[in-house]
Amino acid sequence: MTFSLPEGNGPLRRERLRTARLYFVCDARPPGDLEGLLRAALGGGVDIVQLREKSLDRDEIERAAATFRRVADTFSALFILNDDPELARICDADGVHVGQDDVAAEEARELLGPDAVIGLSTHSEEQIAAAAERPVDYISVGPIWETPTKAGRPAVGLELINHAAEHVAHPFFAFGGIEPANAEQVVRGGAQRLCAVRAIRDAADPSAAATALRRAFAAAGQEGEPMPPASRRGVAPGG
């Protein structure tokens, strides 16, 4: 049985994904005010927000999701829910992000239909290669450095980012310990899109933190829209 998201939104969602640079992952109860944090992050340059919540009950997640949805709409941004495709549908998310050990991407696609955005975490060259044959729209690659948001997950280093830049057909987001101080290094390592958690969520000024992360692209000479990897020149990312 298919629980498709509203029809006709797929092309718009994928265009927003194609041009996205900065992805912010946030829990339902960040320090301070959730709506204020999301508005600051999006105002500072975030293109995609993900609600990632591992401990709260469903009702609280749904309440937080309503805030994510409303603020994302205000800024014409994508709203992604972590792990649960059925809950993504209920919360009117644009899609779902799954890990290697979560609901399979194939099942998420079947549940949400062709217009949803499906993301997949990858941590190795083998997982990156396998993702090319799966029904996903983007992948995340990392963690570059060890991070408490991925406890127990070993760092992969910048080498995997460089590999992804050369081989990935999907849009990909580098993640893991990225902050304004090292973001340019990650971009110069091949990343055309960045994903952050603590660097924005825990910043004294989340808007300024998001803006500083985006400056890494200009500093590395990547102004304008992301370009496809070398193996895909002339083909739009995700196309």
Q: What is the DSSP letter of 56?
A: S
- Cα 214 to its chain centre, rounded Å, is 15
> With 60 as the cut, is the pLDDT of residue 169 above it?
yes
Question: Residue 3's pLDDT band (boundaries 50, 70, 90)?
Answer: very low
Q: What tens digit of pLDDT does each residue of 45-62 get?
A: 999 999 999 999 999 999
Beta-sheet strands, E only, within the chain: 22-26, 48-51, 78-82, 95-98, 117-122, 138-141, 172-174, 194-196
Q: What is the rounded average pLDDT of the residues 42-47?
A: 98
pLDDT at 151: 60
Q: What tens digit of pLDDT does each residue of 148-164 get?
A: 766 667 899 999 999 99
Query: Which domains occur in the chain, in start order?
Result: 11-228 (3.20.20.70)
Question: Residue 99's pLDDT band (boundaries 50, 70, 90)?
Answer: very high
